[in-house]
Amino acid sequence: MTNLVIMESPSKATTVKGYLGSSYKVVASKGHIRDLPKSTLGIDIDRDFEAHYINIRGKGDLIRDLKKEVKNADRIYLATDPDREGEAIAWHLVNALGIPANKAKRVTFNAVTKSVVKEGIKHPREIDMDIVNAQQTRRLLDRIVGYKLSPFLWKTVKSGLSAGRVQSVATRIIVDRENEIRAFEPKEYWTIDAVLKTSGGKTFTAKFHGPKSTGEKMDLTCREEAEKIWNDVRGKTFLVDDIKLGRRMKSPAPPFETATLQQEASRKLNFQSQRTMRVAQELYEGVNVGAENGGVQGLITYMRTDSLRISDEARDAAKAYILGKYGEQYYPAEPRVYKSKSGAQDAHEAIRPSGAMLEPAVIRKQLTPDQYRLYKLIWDRFIASQMESAELSTVQTDLTAAGWLFRSSGYTVKFPGYMALYEESTDDRNPPDEEKAARLPQLTKGEELEAESVAPEQHFTEPPPRYTEASLVKLLKENGIGRPSTYATIITTITTRGYVKREGKSLVPTPLGEVTTKLIGEYFPDIVDSQFTASMEDQLDGIESGRDTMLDVLRNFYGGFSKELDKAFEAVGDHEVEVPAEETDIICEKCGARMVVKNGRFGKFAACPNYPACKNTKPLAQTGDGLVEKKTEVAAEKCELCGADMILRSGRYGSFYACSRYPECKNTRQKNRPLGVSCPECGADLVMKHGKNRSVFYSCSRYPECKFSSWDLPLKDRCPKCGGMLYRKKGKNLILCKTEGCGYKAEVPEEADAPEADRPADGLN
């Protein structure tokens, strides 16, 4: 009997192929093979939202190959990813490939390990149409919003804009925070710190708390209040009035789910959400960790989940590791069980290592730096989540002087527990007191202390911080906006479409983002309403569970949306909204104006706002801190026509050098890219050049002194037969040696599969 297993990812297919016997053939669909057409809506609204799916362009050969495999197979296992998108891909495969119902079997793998894969194959099921319809509903909703709302933005703002059901909400959240920051009025407050010295010569800091008579906290709002207390206590002896000793147990954080993984990877590893999910996908699909560690295997469980559940087998494995590594005192009396939040989909476990005993350090050499760092984060968090709590010994000391109360707090770790392995980080600008506290010297009640210094200090309250990827994902999760599979795509979409920009780790709305958010909020309030979007997510969950139907959800949404759309077009008429120019910090050296960002054929550049009176422009570069002036690269040689500097410019066909006195001097010169290969005739560097019709060739950098050139690409490797230079034949997958009399030829080694292209975003247009 011939068994065919169809997966999404070629790399995961390769991993699974090694687990199954010779009677199984494993192939990959490389994501979706059908989708709605790009050029039209693809939905017949009048016929109960009938969707017109077509084969994705460029996948014709793949579909033909898959059809041949299906025809020759007795049983077909659809092993696409274990989520809504994967269920929909399985359904599309059945329809596009004409798989008979009696042959099609749906299987899912929560982790790509030999035992999990074999167990999954043993328990096939039918395709769950409730899950498929939940995905279809999301896709149709987003297509309707995108295709109906985008033309409204083209008419009122500018052509080429797009709107999305979830991206619009995320943009509004960032815009609202920016408006809060602008409206914020700082308020003055003061603190007083006393540096005190014990009889043993040790020092520590105590902070002003309030009057001793009441013991209540007193806020100092002006200089006069602070100076009065400062004058009262300076030069005075401080008395240790009270010492409170305590004990606090600190529990570990639960294992990761998608949102917390993205947040912690942003804080600890400085990963953007998209990078986190890409690396997590690699760890899930399978990595060759060496024959001694099991060969090719998936290292983590499925990474798109909002569940905190873990299997009994995983919990037992963690227990065995903790007892063996740390001892009995590091494992709690009862195994830890974490409860998922209300509304979480519990189809998958939390994100955890697929094998708890496979320590990150053991396989570090087999992983890329990003894979190792993320795997270690996941592994540490999971093991720590099963460990005993940490025990902290706390101390709070009250000190008095001139009737005023000062307070100092500290703690020591009596027993580290899970903290021996891992501690969760935080976005808070004001961490809990025990995280700020220092270790206090030994003090005795009634002891008198001298003050080395007493210093009042002025402060001002700060506005709320801008969102980072970590804090935005946290908010989206808390408000039920999006799902684990969409968080990274939401952020990528709003940044690539120019509604939001990055400044360091902060997400900042652009003028375009603010204008479109205001416009959509005025005419389509539901689209940018967080509660409405969250309720739509609940309805999608209802379709998956069988509580709601796809048709009812689509009808209810479109009824109100279509009326809003008609009113909006009627209200705006021919009115156009002007988008304010985005200012930069670059000052025009010709007229002194602050330059603004403009879009050109080759990307963004800085231009003087006084155009056409001042035509000064500067190239811009995207950095982690946003758009900055691009440093001008100056050529080593001067302009041969006028003697001025030659500087690097960008053009239609790539980079080139131009005279810095342009337009007075219009001399240009092609920038030649070094190959890192020595010329076989003179030993100088070989460079890539452009000939007629922009054709590429390779020549010596000492031309015209050395006239070596080649249409074929010279390689660093030497011929194994004669030791001469090897070339890659232009336009062919062939390596050859041109040394006379040698005749060596070889095919180009097959390259590894390219990373799987992103599937159409689940929940985004």
Residue in the structure block whose two tokens are 């077909």: 76
Whole-number Å distance between alpha carbons of 624 and 604 = 16
Question: Which of 302, 330, 422, 657 is the catalytic position?
Answer: 302
Cα–Cα distances in Å, from 152 out to 131, 525, 566, 567, 580?
Answer: 32, 14, 10, 11, 19
* Cβ-contact 606, 588 below 8 angstroms: no
Whole-number Å distance between alpha carbons of 555 and 568 = 20
Quickly list DSSP for 708-733. -EESSEEEEEEPTTT--EEEEPTTSS
Choose among 469, 474, 519, 471: nearest CA to 492.
469
Q: Classify the C-alpha dihedral 672-677-680-681 as positive or negative.
A: positive
Q: Is 604 helix (H, G, I), strand (E, B) or coil?
A: strand
Which structure tokens are listed for 147?
Answer: 């295709």
For 188, other C-beta atoms within 10 Å of its C-beta total 12
Whole-number Å distance between alpha carbons of 122 and 125 = 10
* Cβ-contact 584, 596 below 8 angstroms: yes
Backbone angles phi, psi at 28, to 5 degrees: -125, 140
HEC-encoded secondary structure of 457-524:
EEEECCCCCCCEHHHHHHHHHHCCCCCCCCHHHHHHHHHHCCCEEEECCEEEECHHHHHHHHHHHHHC
Whole-number Å distance between alpha carbons of 33 and 43 = 18
Which structure tokens are listed for 175?
Answer: 């815009």
* Cβ-contact 487, 173 below 8 angstroms: no
**Adjacent-strand bridge partners of 194:** 206, 454
**How many residues would you count in the chain?**
765
Q: Is 696 helix (H, G, I), strand (E, B) or coil?
A: strand
Choose among 273, 279, 309: nearest CA to 474.
273
Which structure tokens are listed for 456?
Answer: 């009042």
The reply to whether 727 belongs to the active site is no
Residues labelled as active-site residues: 302
